[in-house]
Structure 1
Amino acid sequence: MTATRATALFDRLASVYDEVLPFFAGFAQQHMAWLAPAPGTRVLDVGAGRGALTAAALARGCRVTAVDCAPGMVERLAAQYPQVREARVMDVHQLDFPDGSFDLVCAGFVVHLLDDPAAAAREIRRVLAPGGVFSFSVPGDVENAPEWEFYGALFREFQPLIPDGQGRLSRPLDAERLLTAAGFTGIGEHAVEQRLPVADADTFWDWGLSHGSRAYFDALPADALHEFEARVRAELSTMAPIVFAAGARLWRATSPGCHLGFAQGGPAGAAE
């Protein structure tokens, strides 16, 4: 899927994104707890969406700037978090900020969706101050949740029915190689997961239509989509209660230079 189509999709989803289940908000809180930036840290949230990481950083007293490619996301983020220093529509591949503007650049479930992650990583390094941190999350595995293996298996089973260039937005990503090639050092990773109570099958299906997976569902032929939904609902009918298990991997790396901590003169944040 091209950047233009991705922007159109997320703009269309802005009103429901992270509204059905607190999926991104939950992971953002874990992500920011792991980074532990000091109050006053200059944070740039790229691909900010509705502001999951923005909210978590603001709660720690950070000075946050948020950017996203989708105007609808930016409009809603700015309205919900007026304390944000700046919220702008912007392409992460071409950030309109001077060199060394931020102490921390973070991205929640964004990097693996980009057309050119390598170019974005270089641009992020440019806007980081020496010793600043780039950190992002990507989908990950979850332990001890065999009841949810069916969901990923269904996506793989139906994938051949999706026309080339459509469907899911994500691309394979070698995070360590990406960071190394962009000149970052001190690379570290951390696995997290969450268990989200789901009221009923309708809620879970609505959640699947409220974020990036919507591209996959929209690309399925109508009869295949109906079968996919029916099989999801059949599996969920065996769960009482329904508790969605999801995992993520968090990555962080440092821009070369004298490390002054996230906030100049403040504590160094989460050390590896």
Structure 2
Amino acid sequence: MSKPSHHTDNDVSSGQYTHGHHPSVVSMHQRRTAQDSAAFLLAHLRPGQALLDLGCGPGSITLDLAARVAPGPVLGVDASATVIETARAAAAERADCTTRFAVGDLYALDLPDDSFDIVFAHQVLQHLTDPVAALREMARVIRPGGLIAVRDADFATFSWYPAHDGLTRWLALYREVCHANGAQPDAGRRLPAWARAAGLTDVQVSTSTWSYHDPSERTAWAHGWAHRVTESALGDRARELDLADSDELAAIADAWHDWAREPDGWFAMIHGEMIARIG
């Protein structure tokens, strides 16, 4: 893969990754599955396909997808060496797992043209300073007839009940940090536009949701964000930019805990999804 010497664990291919890879972030990502994060792609998967997962994180989705295309080769790529080691450890726990994980640059993959049948990227384009360039690089490594499949949240669609000023401040702060990092929190609605700019013409778009009301799911979601606000790169960057101090971040974390205790608590979001066929 491309040498990662210009990366840090908070970078996404030379950009600033808003979340970073604090354990509070990685643990939330490890709960993701192909079913809850890539359902729009599953009907297109066949045994023997070669699959590339870009921005694979700790590899939970990657390994699920690998089981569906086995014995096809699967490669997960991420800019973070730390999270790649986590993914490799997860793969080592699975019997006869041949999935590989490597550090790489999403803008300049050290891979030949026409290498994969499927390129998948989940919650990745929103964090990039040039998502169009990333889509072009995905298209380069796709074989004729292959698919690019991407899914990104759209933070402008986030909704919760009951209303809470602390969560309103959280969302505004998150958006501020994203924009300061050159990222786009409302990526979901922009996927078709980015595809057109990248020269992709055979495109299908869809949407799906995540929602949280069950007490255990609601608590895990809230506690994860509470820790991310105070302990991860999100909080660090907010302080660095003088967008919030530690007291305000602690108050936002408390707001998440308050919401989690609400018996009628509800949270939902929309994700944009896109499948583009190449050649």
Q: Which category of TM-score, normalised to the shorter sequence, fits these structures?
A: 0.7 to 0.9
What stretches of structure 2 of length at least 5 have no aligned partner?
1-5, 239-243
Which residue among 206, 212, 223 is the counterpart of 1:206?
223
State which drifts further: 105-114 or 192-201.
192-201
Partner residue in 2 for 1:45: 53
1:155-211: CA deviation from partner (whole Å, max 9, x where unpaired): 344469869836x95445421121122222221112212334443886444311359
- Count of residue pairs brought into register by the alignment: 251
Q: Is the 8 A contact 2:161 2:267 kept in 1?
A: no
In structure 2, the residue matched to 1:119 is 133
**Quick one: which amino acid aligns to residue 169 of structure 2?**
L
* Letter of the 2:10 counterpart: A
**1:67-118, CA deviations, whole angstroms, 9 ceiling, x for partnerless residues?**
0000111111112124244211001000000000001100010011012111
Query: Of residues 56, 75, 79 in structure 1, which corresponds to 2:89?
Result: 79
Q: State the secondary structure of the residue aligned to 2:138.
A: helix
TM-score normalised over the length of structure 1: 0.75
More off after superposition, 6-15 vs 50-59: 6-15
Alignment match, 2:241: none
What's the counterpart of residue 105 of structure 1? 119
Partner of 1:253: 276
Task: List gaps (5 residues or longer) in structure 1.
Answer: 257-272
Q: Percent identity?
A: 21
**Distance in 1 separating the partners of 2:157 and 2:177:** 29
Give 1:1-272 correspondences, 5 Å limit.
Answer: 4=8, 6-7=10-11, 13=21, 15-20=23-28, 24-25=32-33, 27-33=36-42, 35-62=43-70, 63-82=73-92, 83-140=97-154, 146-147=160-161, 150=164, 153-158=168-173, 165=180, 170-173=184-187, 174-196=190-212, 197-199=214-216, 203-208=220-225, 209=227, 214-218=232-236, 219=238, 220-239=244-263, 244-256=267-279
**Could you tell me which amino acid in structure 2 is paired with residue 58 of structure 1?**
A
Q: Cα deviations across residues 112-170 of structure 1 (Å, max 9, x unaligned)? A: 1012111111111110111211111111479996516657633344469869836x954
Alignment deviations for residues 199-239 of structure 1 (CA, whole Å, 9 cap, x no partner): 3886444311359x943333231121122123333333322
Q: Which segment drifts farther, 45-54 or 244-253?
A: 244-253
Any idea what the Cα deviations from partners look like across 1:1-57, whole Å, max 9, x if unmatched? x97473386896264545358653253252443x43111111000000011331221
**What value does the CA root-mean-square deviation take over the aligned residues?**
3.7
